[in-house]
Structure formats: structure tokens, C-alpha cells
Amino acid sequence: MADLSQEEWTKKLEADTNAVVLDVRTQDEVDQGIIPNAIHIDIFKGQGFIYEVEKLDKSKNYYVYCRSGNRSGQACAIMNQLDIENAYNLEGGFSEWQGEVAFME
């Protein structure tokens, strides 16, 4: 797991052809906007979160964020324990995100 600044995270993501963006916030938070093309798995689902993460492609690189960077840091640690080697935590999270924002349908 690596904690990356907004700039590092964005640069790495843009250059990564094997990237998946993962939003681990609650549904209420997701309704306020997401980073484009992110998949959503709420870390507060507990065991449900683990089940969902276990279904993910372990060969991909995951760019993980939450509101402030705390839950996504926890999510990255869990993902590492589940044999997902490349999980990158967005420091400052969505609350400091400077990039594009999308809204779920």
C-alpha cells in the first residue's frame, strides 16, 4: 500500500493502463459525486466489503479513495491482506480532490 498525494495519485493513475478506481465511501457520500469511472464498495459493509474485494481482479492496480483518506487507507490494508498487491491510497480523499467529478445515475 502506498499513500499518494493528489498529484502523485493522479499522475500514476493517468499513466496506468491496468488501473481501477475504487470509492469506499457510503452511498450518501457517493451521491454527492464520484471520481469518474470509479467502482463503489462501501467499506462500512464490513464482511460484505471483504466479499466484494475478494471478487476483484488481483492483477489490477487499485486507486482507492474515501472522503478524507482514512477509510481508504484501511481499505488498502485489507486489500493487501487479500493478496491485492497494488493499492494506492489518495491522501486527503475526495474532500481535497481537484479533478473531474461525476454523478451516478
**How far, in Å, are 28, 53, 69 from residue 22 at the CA level?**
16, 10, 12
Alpha-carbon Rg for the chain in angstroms: 12
Catalytic: 76?
no
Q: Which of 66, 78, 79, 87 does the annotation list as catalytic? A: 66
Residue type, 60: K
Is the separation of the CB atoms in 63 and 1 below 8 Å? Answer: no
The Cα 88–Cα 66 span in angstroms is 12
Question: Which are the catalytic amino acids?
Answer: 66
